[in-house]
Structure 1
Amino acid sequence: MKRFNSVFPFIFAFTLFCLNNIHVSAQQSLKAYLKTIDNKVSLSYIIQNKQGKILSMSNSDKIIPSASIIKVPLLIYFMQKASEGTFSLQDHYHLKDEDKVGGSGELQFKPAGISVTYEYLAKEMIRVSDNTATNIIIKKLGLKAFQKWMKENDYSATQLNRFMMDFDAIEKGKQNYCSSKEINRLLLALYNGDLLAENPSLKVIEWLKNCEDNTGLPHLLPDRVAIAHKTGTLDYVRGDAGIIFGENPIFITVLVENFSEIAEADSIISTIGRLAYLEYSK
């Protein structure tokens, strides 16, 4: 017992030292951690600073089903059209029964005929990934018009080919896609004002900060660290893309495929987010 008591303070001090100095070896830890991921898991990710410098990446050009991460470029295009005066954020839309689709979101449970603003729809599309709100926005903007805008801005991997929860389209082979590199480029363009003026950009970033799914990138970050992000989930894809506002903002998109369960994918995403913050954002 005496021996244990004499060793314990050393162990305790050493543990504190490791915790307080984890940032020193965070890059090495990220590399080491990536080597521990099950070989069957497919990972695509990219981490950049606000100047666009690539800090770390793997398979970032791979085109992957986007799940709800497609809602990030959709939100940016939505705000651009609103800023141009095509419509007002305060314009009202009356919900119809035929608008309602399943999956994420609360609007599907609201009674037909209720009036909501387009700003409310955009916020819900991000906050709880509301699929009904998203489809209303797609109809407002035009699916083909959105796709044309993406191509005009040189985004070829990011594609909106169907509405949310459109299983008939899925059976016909229509899918929405993205790559981690292109989603990161969109986030950089948003932050640096390349696609929107300052006030609309700030509004979009604030809405992304309100995403309620915090099991991915935000999960292992300190509470004081803000993150503007959007998750996406399919049975076979889990992703998260966002801006981590540390001392130095970093832009990160992580897409995971071939995982055994969502918890495994979330563990991978949150660990990468934590290590990226420690190495590049402090």
Structure 2
Amino acid sequence: MFCPKCGKKNKEGAKFCANCGAELKRRSNNEKSASTKEKALGSQPAELQSGSKAKNEVQKSDGSRAQKVQKVRKNAWMRWTITIAVLAIVAGTGFFIYQNNQTPSNTKSNSADYTATANSESGSSSSSSSKASSSKASSISFPKSKVEGTIEDAFGDISGTTSVYVSPTDSSEKVVSHNGAQRAASNIKLFIMVTAYNAISEGQLNLDDEYTLKDSDKVDGTGAIRELTAGTKLTIQRLIDYMMEDSDNTAANIMIRELGGMDAVNKQIKKMGATDTKLERMLMDTDALKSGKDNYTSVTDLGETLKKIYNHQMISTKYDNAMLDVLKQNKNRTKLPHDLPDEATVYNKTGEFDDYGVENDAAIFGNTKGSFVIVVMSEDGQRNEQINQMNSFGSVMYKGLLEENE
């Protein structure tokens, strides 16, 4: 049925419009008959008649990137506009100053139809259920129901399993959907980096320490270190940079060994409270993979880790800022940040594993109005579909939370 207010086509039997929220009244048989005749004569709701060619193509839903992006943005636009207008009238909004290299001081769901639920940490985050709890309000507007709707628009119909985490950096408010342990791919490197800076802060490692590259260190996959000649000297700082900025697998394996092995990294992960995260194999260890071992994490573990780093709650202001500097230099911006404006500040780490249909991205987006954490993990899916939807989702969330938050 079509919405009498905005003209959006909704599922038969829906009580409210998925686009504008207006109440939908079931039509009588006479009205349905009249509507059928109008359709036969080529009559459409006024907004659909006046729509551009691009909007008409979106309704055809032929699976192309442009059509899916327009669909997500069109549906989200009404949600964000209506919500922000109401919030402005009822309570007004605030803002907080955001600077590229200065972060705020210490602040601290699964459902059948893919509806996300606001929750807070309560023990192991591997549970697929979500719980709502009281939380500190953010300085940016965070309309949970609109975030949930945007998640459903973006990922509700794509193949595979997709989990999402969205939360303002200055609040415990959050929306988490389908949380659970998934293949981490290169996102496990975020936890290796935290372990490294913790060891540095405790004097167990020095950023200026040098490592001499061996041929036996080199592994396939992403990264440039494997192209360097044996005997090349690399500082710990440079190894971290390679591991995070280029997602270098050889650098990651060297860092794991320099830190004392997988047990040392897992000890730090446990200390962090990342209950869904575990390092079970070295990068590109296909034998371990065949035996059933892999590296896992979740959107909640990634999201909470980024939030702690941003708020200087992970190690210290000095080393948390150092990690932010590294994340800011990440070269892969093809997923969630792809369609953001130039003025957006981005800290992120991606992960991908084509053999298992894995496409992940964990990021912090910010501008002068505020900042928020956004994480998407998708596995057993189709790469182009996953990335296209991440592009549009990142753009819609940035616009809704930071550009229309006035």
* TM range, smaller chain: 0.7 to 0.9
Larger radius of gyration: 2
**Aligned pair partner of 1:24 in 76, 81, 86:** 81
Aligned counterparts of 1:254 and 1:275: Cα–Cα separation in 2 = 14
Question: 2 CA distance for matches of 1:67 and 1:217?
Answer: 17
CA contact (8 A) 1:29 1:275 kept: no
Instruction: Give the drift of 1:220.
Output: 1.0
Distance (whole Å) between structure 2 residues aligned to residue 245 and residue 42 of structure 1 = 27
SS where residue 392 of structure 2 aligns?
helix
Corresponding position of 1:5? none
CA shift digits 1:138-193 (9 cap, x unpaired): 00112101111212332221111110000011011110000101111111111111
**In the alignment, residue 237 of structure 2 is paired with which amino acid?**
E
Query: Residues 33 and 200 (structure 1 numbering): CA distance in 2 closer, same or farther, change over 3 Å?
Result: closer
What secondary structure sits across from 1:54 in the alignment? coil
1:276 equivalent in alignment to 2:397: yes
Equivalent position amino acid for 1:154 in 2: G
For 2:291, the aligned partner's letter is K
The structural deviation recorded for 1:119 is: 0.3
- Higher RCO (CA-CA < 8 Å; seq separation 6+): 1
Residue 374 (structure 2) aligns with: 252
What residue number does 2:221 align with? 103
Give 1 or 2: higher helix fraction.
1
Distance 1:63 1:56, change over 3 A: same
Structure 1 counterpart of 2:240, which letter? A
Percent identity at matched positions? Answer: 29
SS of equivalent to 2:376: strand
| Residue from 200, 209, 212 that aligns with 2:328 | 209
1:171 alignment counterpart: 290
CA drift at 1:85: 1.2
Contact 2:158 2:385 in 1 (8 A): no
Q: Does 1:68 align with 2:189?
A: no
How many Å separate the matches in 1 of 2:331 and 2:154?
29
Aligned residue-pair number: 266
Contact 1:228 1:244 in 2 (8 A): yes
AA matched with 1:94: T
> Taking structure 1 as the reference length, what is the TM-score of the superposition?
0.87
CA contact (8 A) 1:127 1:210 kept: yes
**Please, which moves more after superposition, 158-167 or 28-37?**
28-37
1:120-159 equivalences in 2 (<5 Å): 120-141=238-259, 142-159=261-278
- The structural deviation recorded for 1:29 is 8.4
Secondary structure, aligned partner of 1:206 = helix
Paired position in structure 1 for 2:210: 92
Whether the 8 Å CA contact 2:279–2:294 is kept in 1: the answer is: yes
Q: Work out whether 1:191 is the aligned partner of 2:313.
A: no
> TM-score, normalized by length of structure 2?
0.62
Residue pair 1:30, 1:272 contacting (<8 A) in 2 also: no
Task: Pick one of 163, 177, 183 that aligns with 1:58.
Answer: 177
What is the root-mean-square deviation in Å for CA atoms of aligned residues?
Answer: 2.3
Q: Are 1:267 and 2:388 counterparts?
A: yes
Q: Is 1:228 the counterpart of 2:358 in the alignment?
A: no
In structure 2, the CA distance between the partners of 1:249 and 1:215, relative to structure 1 (3 Å rule), is same
Larger deviation, residues 115-124 vs 152-161: 152-161
Q: SS at 1:249's partner residue?
A: strand
Counterpart of 2:389 in structure 1: which amino acid?
A: I
The structure-2 alpha-carbon separation of the partners of 1:157 and 1:29, relative to structure 1 and needing over 3 Å to count, comes to: closer
What amino acid sits opposite 1:173 in the alignment?
A: G
Separation in 2 of the partners of 1:186 and 1:25?
32
Partners of 1:29 and 1:84 in 2: how far apart? 40
Cα contact 1:52–1:188 (8 A) shared by 2: no
- The answer to whether the Cα contact below 8 Å between 1:70 and 1:177 also exists between their aligned partners in 2 is yes
Alignment match, 1:4 = none
Alignment of structure 1 residues 7-22 onto 2, 5 Å: 22=77
Runs of 4+ in 1 over 6 A off after TM superposition: none
How far residue 35 of structure 1 moved from its aligned partner, in angstroms, is 3.5
**CA-to-partner distance for each residue in 1:115-150, whole Å, 9 max, x for gaps?**
010100000111110000000000011210111121
Question: How far off its partner does 1:273 sit?
Answer: 1.2
1:240 to 344, 361, 366: 361
What is the distance in 1 between the residues matched to 2:275 and 2:150? Answer: 33
The alpha-carbon distance between structure 1 residues 70 and 203, as it changes in their structure 2 partners (threshold 3 A), is same
**For structure 1, which runs of at least 5 residues remain unmatched after alignment?**
1-9
User: Aligned in 2, Cα 1:25/1:203: closer, same or farther, shift over 3 Å?
Assistant: farther
